[in-house]
């Protein structure tokens, strides 16, 4: 503890990367939760909140990137820190694309979209919770990692089943519209899975 206090005085903490990652992942979850709520209720406030959370998450990410350039040392590998932030951002970008596409194409919400939005929300919540314990209790995150990967696998199953049912229909335009939405959800799940892989690598290196 004395050595730690000495180092803190010699090299005071100017950059709190843990806090920025926590904020980014939490804001991303909030945006996805808004999307899920909008899909169910089509409430204008939820629609607007998705964009508000995207703007907030972008601001946090830009700050993190700025701090990375300036910081002499980081709490863990600099590349991992940058990359996990980018992957989380990609999840949020997919969320915006889902929202815009559903509204613009006037897509009727089916059971596949409902299931996918729920799984994405659950996965994002687990990732946010996992990042919140990264600094002090990383060893406790294994169960969260497993649940996120389970959500991603379930998303894959629903995606394939959704395509199977979709391609049984005769309306080509409808097929193209719904496939676009399904693909955005699948991409978001892929980025979530990638973020979890990086997270797992971080906690292994911190162990």
What's the pLDDT tens digit per position in 99-139?
999 999 999 999 999 999 999 999 999 999 999 999 988 87
pLDDT the model gives residue 197: 95
| Residue 7 pLDDT > 60 | no
DSSP 145-182: HHHHHHHHHHHHHHHHHHHHHHTTSS-HHHHHHHHHHH
What's the pLDDT tens digit per position in 176-206?
999 999 999 999 999 999 999 999 999 988 8
| Residue 9 pLDDT > 50 | no
Q: What is the C-alpha separation between 50 and 14, in angstroms, rounded?
A: 31
For 154-170, what is the mean pLDDT?
Answer: 95
pLDDT the model gives residue 205: 87
Domain ranges in the chain are 16-206
6: confidence class by pLDDT, cuts 50, 70, 90: low
| Residue 11 pLDDT > 80 | no
5: confidence class by pLDDT, cuts 50, 70, 90: low
4: confidence class by pLDDT, cuts 50, 70, 90: low
* Helix-helix angle 111-132:78-104, to 10 degrees: 160
b/e string for 43-58 if b means 16 or more Cβ within 10 A? eeebbebbeebbebbe
For 157-184, what is the mean pLDDT?
Answer: 96
Q: Is 16-206 CATH 1.20.58.220?
A: yes
pTM of the model: 0.90
What's the pLDDT tens digit per position in 13-42?
678 999 999 999 999 999 999 999 999 999
Q: State both tokens at 94.
A: 């997919």
What's the pLDDT tens digit per position in 65-84?
999 998 888 989 999 999 99
pLDDT the model gives residue 2: 47
pLDDT the model gives residue 15: 85
């Amino acid at each position: 503890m004395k050595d730690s206090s000495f180092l803190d005085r010699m090299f005071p903490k100017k950059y709190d990367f843990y806090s920025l990652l926590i904020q980014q992942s939490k804001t991303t979850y909030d945006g996805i939760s808004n999307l899920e709520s909008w899909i169910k209720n089509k409430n204008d406030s939820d629609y607007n909140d998705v964009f508000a959370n995207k703007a907030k998450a972008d601001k946090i990410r830009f700050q993190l990137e700025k701090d990375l350039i300036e910081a002499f040392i980081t709490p863990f590998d600099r590349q991992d820190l940058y990359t996990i932030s980018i992957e989380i951002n990609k999840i949020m970008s997919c969320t915006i694309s889902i929202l815009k596409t559903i509204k613009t194409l006037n897509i009727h919400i089916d059971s596949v979209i409902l299931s996918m939005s729920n799984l994405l929300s659950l996965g994002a919540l687990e990732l946010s919770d996992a990042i919140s314990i990264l600094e002090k209790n990383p060893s406790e995150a294994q169960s969260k990692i497993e649940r996120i990967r389970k959500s991603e696998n379930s998303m894959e199953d629903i995606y394939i089943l959704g395509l199977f049912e979709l391609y049984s229909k005769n309306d080509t335009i409808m097929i193209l519209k719904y496939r676009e939405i399904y693909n955005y959800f699948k991409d978001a799940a892929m980025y979530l899975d990638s973020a979890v892989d990086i997270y797992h690598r971080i906690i292994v290196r911190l162990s």
